[in-house]
Amino acid sequence: MPLHSSRLAVDEGTPVRRRPWPVWPQPADGALDALSRVLRSGRWAISGPYRGVESAERRFARRFADYHHIAHCVPASSGTASLMLALEACGVGAGDEVILPGVTWVASASTVVGVNAVPVFADIDPETLCLDPDAVEAAITPATKAIVVVHLYAAVADLTRLKEVADRHGIVLIEDCAQAHGAEFEGHKVGTFGAVGTFSMQQSKVLTSGEGGAAITADPVLARRMEHLRADGRCYGDTAPLSGRMELVETGELMGSNRCLSEFQAAVLTEQLGELDRFNARRAHNAELLDALLVDAGYRPQRSAPGTTARTYYTYAAELPEAELPGADIAKVTEALTAELGFPVTPSYSPLNANPLYDPSSRSRFALGPQHEKLIDPARFVLPVSGRLTRRLVTFHHAALLGDESDMRDIAEAFTKVLQHGAALAA
């Protein structure tokens, strides 16, 4: 790497990179035609009138299930909705404890509170940034009903150990795969190891329709419960209705809410799914090259758990070298990297026990009594590994990994330049 005597770009120096970066999302070739077909179909939602053809939602559900080699997929309006479906279908409710990683997107925790359960934050593994199985074991109480394992950023959690802990204690394991579409553990897709696997298809995700989600399961009972929960207590009937009638049947089995995916989103997702593996392969190839370059510079890229056979790169994450940046202000470091590269480089998610986006006390709907309010107070948790690592992690979105080798060298050059000006970035 070249030595940089010039000033940092953030201090009006010359940036490493001025050329544009790849943008995301990138539509599949058939996406526009798929949208046009829905637009002219006379059915824009699964609650719309049946027109004698299979719904786009059913087509996507079948293909997403087939992609995972699993029996059932229930699409939903978002990743948050999908996780809520999974929790409620598995019987998680008022007063139940659900163990979560201390570092994850805030919706992992707010969704648990949303079903009147109690989030319990466990610390993370310093290599993978995912749930530490030993911390999970220590957090289990008689009130523990479920473990939600999040495959964070570009790592797969230690599913072997987490599944063993869950099975031994008779606790439901749910996989939050919002950032891991297509990742594999021991040759099987993530989302197929727990009772339910949940996914987000929000704008930034590697499989996206702008907003959307899905839950997958091998259990037909859980699948039927999730169908009811996402469509106001209705589900598809066993036979097709007359044209013009609603395809959803009012069974009276289970009260639900409206968390349905639109026909437009389902049509886009079906087309985008055909491109997922190609995009994932490109990101993985570039990430492997970037790993080698950054390790040489002293950074420590995120690792995946032993047993991982395919990684999905939603976010690239690396820990700052302690020797070169012993007292770095992470905000200053990421600001400097952003200025050098021309795309956002950010700190990691804040630990949930100190995350400003997670504050149940700010909403009166969660004020269910003094005891419950104490239980859902995030400040009661101590997460030393999460706290230490999030002060040292830099991250960026997967779009930057869709370029070529020269793009990865630009990223590595910027990271090296920032190291060489480390004294100016001290806290």
> What confidence tier does 1 reach under pLDDT thresholds 50, 70, 90?
very low
- Known catalytic membership, residue 145: no
Please check the confidence at residue 104 and state whether its pLDDT lies above 50: yes
pLDDT digits (tens, 9 = 90+) for 229-272: 999 999 999 999 999 999 999 999 999 999 999 999 999 999 99
Top-confidence range, 1-5, 118-122, 240-244: 118-122
C-beta atoms surrounding 91 within 10 Å: 12
With a cut of 60, say whether residue 5 has pLDDT above it: no
Does residue 2 surpass a pLDDT of 70?
no
Report the pLDDT value the prediction gives residue 427, as an integer from 0 to 100: 61
Residue 423: pLDDT over 90: no
Residues facing residue 27 across a β-bridge: none
Tokens 């239980």 found at: 375
E-strand spans in 143-246?
A: 144-150, 172-176, 184-185, 188-189, 196-200, 213-217, 234-236
In CATH terms, is domain 31-274 a member of 3.40.640.10? yes
Per the residue annotation, which of 145, 163, 205, 417 is the catalytic one?
205
Domain residue ranges in the chain:
31-274
Residue 274 has pLDDT above 80, yes or no: yes
Give the least confident one: 141-150, 324-333, 391-400: 324-333
CA 270 distance to own-chain centroid: 19
What pLDDT shows up at residue 426? 74
Residue 6's pLDDT band, with cuts at 50, 70 and 90, is confident
Predicted pLDDT at 338: 98
- Between 226 and 2, the more confident residue is 226
**Is pLDDT above 80 for 171?**
yes
